[in-house]
Chains A and B, each alone.
Chain A
């Protein structure tokens, strides 16, 4: 149950020699996290993260295309304050009983050289799908000496308006509409 699934990506068969550089990557769950930051009463920043996720990424650095799919287990929210996590999971906020997962699908990759600079797509949260663009603040690929495989990854961020997903609890005093999302991702070449 607590097993983190690593879903290997699709393709290979339909793409042939013409897309030799297209490669699929499986998310490394130990280096892939979605974290959020929201300001508390205009005073300090509450930080939290989602601990369980699965997903896959395909990148073709020659064709400068890609696709990313990441599913987040909303019940895995973790702020370090258990009663707060409980409230976040309740019907007031993320209503995880009704909406157990959130999903990001990124299908418009922007590159600078062979580095990903931006991934645009949609985020489905609380049953609502909205356009989202993740901007890269870091991106690189390296050969992991332990796995002896290529790993690509980076840091991405975006700012969401939580009301767009129907999450209006405690607006605007206790917590504003803007939520900064920080996404760490590393994925291992398959």
Chain B
């Protein structure tokens, strides 16, 4: 019974893999027919580069100075289709990786009343509402899930560019940028230290994706 049930659960992904293969074939098509027809823009999928994909946060301490921390690397992929103004991103942020430069502070941040890294090892950002200016991503609106709570979050590009990385064995297309967002930690139930440590958290997201 159980193995049948498992088989039943496993079946849909196997079926859904077919359109994926078709998708890849379609991706190859513009190259094959490049000379014959104008290239039809296709979505391009970029995998995040762990050396250049991090979340930095900033939060004001006693209204005086800014505490900074880093979480990451961020894992995930981004699908971009600038010609039709579409994009899709799904990112996971490993909260236990928090690093402020102070070991005991990091340990405190991982506790249940702040990052809650044991119960919720990852935070997620999932978005499908992309704004472009030409080929450039200018903002991404989606949902941020942290500590099991989901809230809308908009990330605005402070800079964005694409380039060809010719240092790799095969040239790799790289797109990336800096994105900025802001959240109120109380919206996610992370209220420890309020109001001495501010409610407003500024997020600075560095991201580079490769394909």
Chain A: residues with CB nearer than 8 A to chain B?
29-31, 33, 35, 39-47, 49, 51, 78, 80-81, 84, 138-142, 144-145, 151-155, 182, 184-186
Contacts and interface: CB of A to CB of B under 8 A. Distances in A.
B122 interface: no
Contact of B52 (A35, A46, A49, A152): A46
Contacts of B65: 31, 138, 153-155, 184-186
Contact of B61 (A31, A39, A42): A31
Interface of B: 50-52, 54, 56, 60-68, 70, 72-73, 99, 101-102, 105, 159-163, 174-178, 196, 204, 206-208
Contacts of A44: 52, 159, 176-178, 206-208
10 contacts: A30-B102, A35-B68, A41-B163, A43-B162, A44-B206, A45-B178, A138-B63, A138-B66, A151-B62, A155-B65
A186 B61 contact: yes
Contacts of B60: 138
Given A30-B102, A42-B161, A47 B56 contact: yes
A186 B64 contact: yes
Please name the 7 residue pairs, one residue from A and one from B, whose CB atoms are nearest each other, closest first.
A51-B101, A153-B65, A44-B176, A43-B176, A43-B161, A44-B206, A184-B65
B208 A184 contact: no
B96 to A, nearest CB: 13
B43 to A, nearest CB: 20
A33 B51 contact: no
B105 A30 contact: yes
Contacts of A155: 65-66
A184 B72 contact: no
A47 B206 contact: yes
A129 B136 CA distance: 41
Which of A29, A182, A184: most chain B Cβ within 10 A? A184
A154 B64 CA distance: 5
B174 A80 contact: no
Contacts of A144: 62
B163 A140 contact: no
B176 A138 contact: no
A78 B69 CA distance: 11
B101 to A, nearest CB: 4
Contacts of B64: 138-142, 151-154, 186
A81 B63 CA distance: 31
A47 B66 contact: no
Given A42-B161, A47-B206, A31 B67 contact: yes
A126 B61 CA distance: 32
B208 A40 contact: yes
Nearest to A154: B65
Contact of B68 (A33, A141, A185): A33
A139 to B, nearest CB: 8
